[in-house]
Amino acid sequence: EIKIMLNEHFPAPNLIGQFRQFGEFGPAYKIVTAIRPTEDNDWLLLVKVFETGEEVEYRYSHIKNDPEAH
């Protein structure tokens, strides 16, 4: 079970609800919520993968580099 820590300090709240894809050719996902900051100045976010319906943790530093899904 993933515990969500509501934290107004997440640096990019505008990302929540966006649709992106893993890399240039990967599956699309929706950014669900910020979970928690990491020890290395990153954040873990909860994303929902459309292809499988699963929700997984994914790093903010990776999301920033992923293209928006079309």
The whole-number pLDDT of residue 58 equals 97
CB-based contacts of 37, cutoff 8 Å, min separation 6: 7, 9, 10, 43, 44
Q: Could you tell me the pTM of the whole model?
A: 0.84
The DSSP 8-state label assigned to residue 37 in this structure reads E
Quote the tokens at residue 46.
């909860």
Segment 2-60, tens digit of pLDDT: 555 554 588 899 999 999 999 999 999 999 999 999 999 999 999 999 999 999 999 99
3-class DSSP assignment, residue 36: strand
Residue 70 CA to residue 68 CA, distance in Å, equals 6
